[in-house]
Amino acid sequence: MPLPLPPVPARVVAAPMAGGPSTVALAAAVGAAGGLGFLAAGYRTADAVAEEVGRLRAATPAPFGVNVLSPVAVVPAEAARVSAYAELLAPRAAARGVALGEPVHTDDAHDAKVAVLAQLRPAVVSFAFGVPPARSIDALHAAGVPVWLTVTSPGDARAAVAAGADALVVQGWEAGGHRGGGTDEEPAQLGLLPLLALVRRVTDLPLVAAGGIADGRGVAAVLAAGAALAQLGTAFLRAPEAGTAPVHAAALTEDRPTTVTRVFTGRSARALGNRATSELAGHAPAAYPEVHALTAPLRAAARAAGDAEELHLWAGQAHVLAEAVPAADLVRRLAAEAREALAAARS
């Protein structure tokens, strides 16, 4: 039997956003308002994850989740293209006075993080980038921790169900940030509502809808479409509790289009279009995390300089709806708007 969902009265989940935006303060504020906050374990050590879990538990008794990245296999043909991409990036790094990073392939200390989380037992551990090793799911289930797996296609959903998922995070094409499913090639590019319908044909597991949801009407739409919970990421990026870089938060207010690109990390991700996504389009290999490590110093320098044109500005398609309001207020408003929208639809 699948392990149950934690109680989430507001039906709103704050998406885990690795690299800075997800913070203890953000997760605590979301939980205090009846939502489900998340910590992002990506790009952090196991010790740092444990320390954040401890601080979050000291801040709130509310349940919360932690997201872990599944190991990504090396693609030899794409990895072989990284050196040519480094040559293309070298002048951009030199202009910032930094050296490019070492394009190493790692598993982001996956096993160590899973071991820590099996001991600490958060309310949920979710995984992105496909199905993790069976030992990871087994260790968490043995500790009584529900496992959520991110899917972007019906095929992903079948694999996740077979692996023993307790719930599926169904990520539509509209979503900001990295594609969270098991493959970086998604020819169907399914939007959230059709994806929810197609995944529901595969499984009766609880579904957590993600992608392009930015207001209470969007929450209501996915709940009406069969989701148990609505997960929002970009909507929380401008909250004062988020660790979003100021240059990123400011760019979200601009009515510029988004694009799905590999130029920053080697894995497809939706970001605001800028000079980097335009000039480097088509050049980046599908080599994650090698490209992520290669570009990290360049992106850090751009962030420090407030340069939005060389930075990964992760954003969903409805990014202009994000507001600079406290996270708890946003959760309460989303829940109230969703109730009103669902009531109006029934009348």
End-to-end CA separation in angstroms for the chain? 37
Give the pLDDT confidence of 88-133 residue by residue, as tens digits: 999 999 999 999 999 999 999 999 999 999 999 999 999 999 999 9
Q: Name residue 68's beta-bridge partners.
A: 127
What the block records as the tokens of 220 is: 């209501």
Q: What gap in Å lies between CA 333 and CA 232, rounded to an integer?
A: 13
Per-residue pLDDT of the chain in tens (347 residues, 90 and over written 9):
999 999 999 999 999 999 999 999 999 999 999 999 999 999 999 999 999 999 999 999 999 999 999 999 999 999 999 999 999 999 999 999 999 999 999 999 999 999 999 999 999 999 999 999 999 999 999 999 999 999 999 999 999 999 999 999 999 999 999 999 998 888 889 999 999 999 999 999 999 999 999 999 999 999 999 999 999 999 999 999 999 999 999 999 999 999 999 999 999 999 999 999 999 999 999 999 999 999 999 999 999 999 999 999 999 999 999 999 999 999 999 999 999 999 999 98
Q: Which parts of the chain are beta strand (E)?
A: 12-14, 37-40, 64-69, 124-128, 147-151, 167-171, 177-178, 207-210, 229-232, 258-261, 269-272
- pLDDT value at residue 185: 85
Q: What gap in Å lies between CA 186 and CA 184, rounded to an integer?
A: 6
Q: Which residues contact 167 (CB under 8 A, 6 or more apart)?
A: 2, 5, 124, 146, 148, 205, 206, 207, 208, 228
List domains and CATH numbers for the chain.
Answer: 1-72+107-244+322-347 (3.20.20.70), 75-106+253-314 (no CATH)
Q: What gap in Å lies between CA 138 and CA 142, rounded to an integer?
A: 6
- pLDDT value at residue 238: 98
Q: What gap in Å lies between CA 174 and CA 150, rounded to an integer?
A: 15
Q: Which residues contact 13 (CB under 8 A, 6 or more apart)?
A: 35, 36, 38, 65, 208, 229, 230, 231, 232
Q: What gap in Å lies between CA 294 and CA 19, rounded to an integer?
A: 15
- pLDDT value at residue 186: 86
Q: Which residues contact 117 (CB under 8 A, 6 or more apart)?
A: 41, 49, 53, 66, 68, 125, 140, 145
Q: What gap in Å lies between CA 199 and CA 110, rounded to an integer?
A: 27
Distances (CA, A) of 66 to 118, 127, 255, 332: 11, 9, 32, 22
How many residues are given for the chain? 347
**3-class DSSP state of 208:** strand
Which spans in 121-253 are helix H?
134-142, 154-163, 192-202, 216-224, 246-251
According to DSSP, residue 239 is labeled S
Q: Which of 212, 223, 233, 172 is nearest to 38 (CA)?
A: 233
Q: What gap in Å lies between CA 220 and CA 281, rounded to an integer?
A: 36
Alpha carbon 87 to chain centroid, angstroms: 30
Query: What's phi and psi for 86, nearest 5 deg?
Result: -60, -40
What the block records as the tokens of 326 is: 């406290």
